[in-house]
Amino acid sequence: MKFKLEAKDKGSSARAGTLTTDHGDIRTPIFMPVGTLGSVKAVSQPDLKNVVGADIILGNTYHLYLRPGMDTMDKAGGLHKYMNWNLPILTDSGGYQVYSLSHKRKLTEEGAAFRNHINGDLVMFTPENVMDIQRTIGGDIIMAFDECPPYPCTKQYAKNSMERTHRWLDRCVARLAETEPHYGHNQELFPILQGGGYSDLRKQSAEYIAGKDAAGYAIGGLSVGEPAEEMYETSELVCGILPEDKPRYLMGVGTPVNILENIGLGVDMFDCVMPTRNARTGTVYTWNGVMNIKNKKWEKDFSPLDQAGSAEVDKMYSKSYVRHLLRANEILALNILSTHNLAFYLDLVREARKHIIAGDFAEWKDKMVMKLSTKI
């Protein structure tokens, strides 16, 4: 896996590059749609590729381990073949479930014991078996097993959690060195930076993972309830420490504004369920701001869903019609809105890339942040 840094913005820390994997190139900055269970909700793989224009998607180790299970995954030949997706895949390690399922897990130095949210069975995740599971899934980029601390938490908790994450990282690295990819393509490990809301711990974690000479680095433990300004301060701090010649991935972020601001701070890769999850409740992201399609003001608006949108659905269906479908609980509404939002997110990062290459990203970003923050 190679990362080529191709351009830097003149007025910010924004960068444009290309990350090359065995399944294709990823043009950065990039947004990665989330396909937790091997499917991006309500959007087919052909539409992800041809309409949304996704370079890479995500799968989740914890959820895929439970369903369909690793025996099925292995017999299918890995997630790429199983879901008929021939472009890059990144798999999260399940570390976020250590955070989100905190009421159902027990954390020890060995790993995290979960109560399976489907049937209540006990599941034990360790750095070693999480690497083995990700070998079986076959993602091009695989994530280290980490603990995401809650927000807020005490400094001592954040410190203990960060140090455990570092020890787990060492075990992940060792396990990968003992094993081989299952399906003939390379897999690269991204370490995850933690440290909670404490800048000195974040600095310490950034320095530690930077010493691992990885193919890329992830910033974890943000977008968990902290103010946006704290997120930006952390991104700025750690991007100044992480290697310049490797991609930086901000996990679980975020709104269009969050993405543009973090691009300006030096982040290259993003993922979030927001465009699809919020689509299912009627949120529509556009170049002019955020629209709630359920509002009565759209009831008799027969203009296209988004005249400036790039997806076919944007001009094919009216606001009134999509509002009607959503209010009537028609499944087509979820497909239309999810496709639109994902296409918008990909258009947003591609436009950002153009402005980085042109050298005027900072000026463009400031104007866009104002527009994208508007409720229409």
Q: What is the pLDDT of residues 194-246, one digit of tens each?
A: 999 999 999 999 999 999 999 999 999 998 899 999 999 999 999 999 999 99
pLDDT one-digit tens code per residue, 307-329: 999 999 999 999 999 999 999 99
The DSSP code for 219 is E
Strand partners, 18: 4, 27
Tell me the pLDDT band of 166, cut-offs 50, 70 and 90.
very high
Mean pLDDT of 256-270: 98
Interval 123-147 mean pLDDT: 97
**Would you place residue 351 in the very low, low, confident or very high pLDDT band (cuts 50, 70, 90)?**
very high
Q: What are the backbone dihedrals phi and psi of residue 263, each rounded to the nearest 5 degrees, phi first? A: -60, -45
Q: Would you state the pLDDT for residue 193? A: 98
Percent of the chain with pLDDT over 90: 92
Work out the average pLDDT over 36-45.
97
Helices (H), ranges, 211-330: 228-239, 256-264, 274-277, 312-316, 319-327
Determine which of 67-71, 102-106, 137-141, 290-294 has the lowest per-residue pLDDT on average: 102-106
CB 223 within 8 A of CB 11: no
The residue to which tokens 């087509």 are assigned: 332
- Contacting residues for 137 by C-beta, under 8 A, at least 6 apart: 59, 61, 64, 70, 73, 78, 79, 89, 91
Using an 8 Å Cβ cutoff, are 6 and 18 in contact?
Answer: yes
Is residue 100 pLDDT above 70, yes or no? Answer: no
Active site annotation includes 314: no
Is there a contact between 271 and 219 (Cβ–Cβ < 8 Å)?
no
Question: What end-to-end distance do the CA atoms of the chain give, in Å?
Answer: 42
Q: Given the DSSP bridges, would you call strands 2-8 and 188-190 parallel, antiparallel or unpaired?
A: unpaired
At 101, the pLDDT band (50, 70, 90 cuts) reads: low
CATH of 2-272, one of 3.40.50.2300, 2.40.50.140, 3.40.50.300, 3.20.20.105: 3.20.20.105
- Cα separation, 31 vs 263, in Å, equals 11
Contact 189, 249 (CB under 8 A): no
In order of 161, 229, 249, 270, 305, the CA distances from 29 in angstroms are 29, 21, 10, 8, 26
Lowest mean pLDDT among 36-40, 94-98, 121-125, 266-270: 94-98
Please list the alpha-helical segments (H only) found in 270-318: 274-277, 312-316
Among candidate residues 55, 268, 271, 306, the one labeled active-site is 271
Query: In terms of DSSP bridges, do strands 248-250 and 217-219 run parallel, antiparallel, or are they unpaired?
Result: parallel
Give the pLDDT band (50/70/90) at residue 102: low
Beta bridge partners of 19: 3, 26
Q: Please report which confidence band the pLDDT of residue 69 belongs to, taking 50, 70 and 90 as the band edges.
A: very high
Q: pLDDT per residue over 277-300, tens digit each?
A: 999 999 999 999 999 999 999 999
- pLDDT-based confidence at 120, cuts 50/70/90? confident
Q: Which of 92, 140, 146, 306 is catalytic?
A: 92
Q: Report, in angstroms and rounded to the nearest whole number, the Rg of the chain calculated over CA atoms.
A: 20
The per-residue pLDDT of the chain, averaged, comes to 96
Residues 169-186 have pLDDT tens digits of 999 999 999 999 999 999
Distance CA 194, CA 157 (A): 12
> Residue ranges per domain, the chain?
2-272
Q: What pTM, to 2 d.p., does this model score?
A: 0.97
Q: Is 170 an active-site residue?
A: no
Q: What's residue 21's pLDDT?
A: 98
Q: So what's the pLDDT on residue 98?
A: 64
